[in-house]
């Protein structure tokens, strides 16, 4: 049940159930299913109708919205997206997250920080979640291209949306939703001034994409290249922790 407390001492209960379909995707699934049934039952084109019906089930699955158990440690930064970690690099945050936007709230400071890039395939859950709790200070949408989200230049060239969240202690964390080769729209659920709990849903990207997280200065990732992460559950960093972590691909 959403909102229930679970912990590592056995408190709470959990069980598998079919994940909900986000309202944003229900219309697409219903249109696909209705079209498939028309082709199958009215036109009698079974060779085309059955694959279309299977594809319509895939559309519903794309917009699935499972519940997540969100770790609540104060220093934890969690993954904003399901997918594979495809990049960890020291970079300057986007200017849109740094410059004075006239709101009276500071952006991210200048200087290189660790960026963690998470690639979402069309088979991943595409509901994105905030990596930290706090107040939304910026939501900046930028139109752009639709090259493969796996490419590093997608961070600067693709359609994208920057979000800046400020914690109660003043620490600011920025992340960017990036549309990919197939994705054609970023759908926001939040706006400046909204107060978010860690792991709360903030938006979705349709049909394949990427999310970049800009960690605070002095903080390294605790995930590695090639690792699969789960939005709202996987810890990707601990504020102030700087360790060299190594893994073996096997």
Q: Give per-residue pLDDT as tens, 221-238.
A: 999 999 999 999 999 999
Listed in order, strand segments (DSSP E) in 26-147 are 64-65, 76-78, 83-91, 113-120, 127-129, 134-142
- Checking if the pLDDT of 108 tops 90, the result is yes
Distance CA 91, CA 160 (A): 17
CATH 2.70.70 fits 76-238, yes or no: yes
Is the pLDDT confidence value at 125 over 80?
Answer: yes
Whether 209 is a known active-site residue: answer: yes
Answering whether pTM is above 0.85, one says yes
Task: Indicate the domain borders of the chain.
Answer: 1-70, 76-238
Paired residues of 175 in beta bridges: 163, 213
pLDDT digits (tens, 9 = 90+) for 157-211: 678 899 999 999 999 999 999 986 654 578 899 999 999 999 999 998 876 689 9
- Which residue of the set 36, 56, 155, 209 is catalytic? 209
């Amino acid at each position: 049940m959403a909102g229930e407390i679970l912990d590592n001492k056995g408190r709470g209960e959990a069980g598998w159930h079919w994940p909900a379909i986000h309202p944003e995707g229900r219309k697409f699934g219903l249109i696909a299913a209705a079209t498939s049934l028309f082709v199958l039952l009215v036109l009698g084109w079974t060779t085309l109708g059955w694959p279309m019906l299977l594809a319509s089930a895939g559309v519903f699955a794309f917009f699935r919205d499972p519940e997540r158990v969100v770790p609540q440690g104060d220093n934890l930064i969690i993954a904003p997206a399901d997918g594979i970690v495809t990049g960890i690099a020291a970079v300057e945050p986007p200017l849109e997250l740094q410059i004075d936007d006239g709101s009276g709230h500071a952006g991210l400071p200048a200087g290189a920080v660790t960026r963690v890039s998470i690639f979402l395939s069309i088979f991943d859950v595409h509901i994105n979640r905030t990596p930290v709790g706090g107040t939304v200070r910026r939501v900046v949408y930028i139109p752009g291209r639709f090259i493969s989200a796996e490419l590093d230049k997608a961070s600067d060239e693709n359609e994208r949306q920057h979000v800046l969240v400020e914690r109660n202690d003043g620490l600011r964390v920025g992340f960017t939703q990036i549309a990919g080769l197939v994705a054609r729209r970023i759908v926001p659920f939040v706006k400046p001034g909204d107060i978010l709990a860690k792991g709360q849903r903030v938006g979705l990207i349709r049909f394949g994409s990427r999310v970049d997280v800009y960690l605070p200065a002095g903080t390294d990732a605790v995930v590695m290249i090639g690792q699969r992460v789960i939005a709202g559950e996987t810890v990707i960093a601990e504020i102030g922790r700087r360790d060299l972590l190594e893994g073996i691909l096997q």
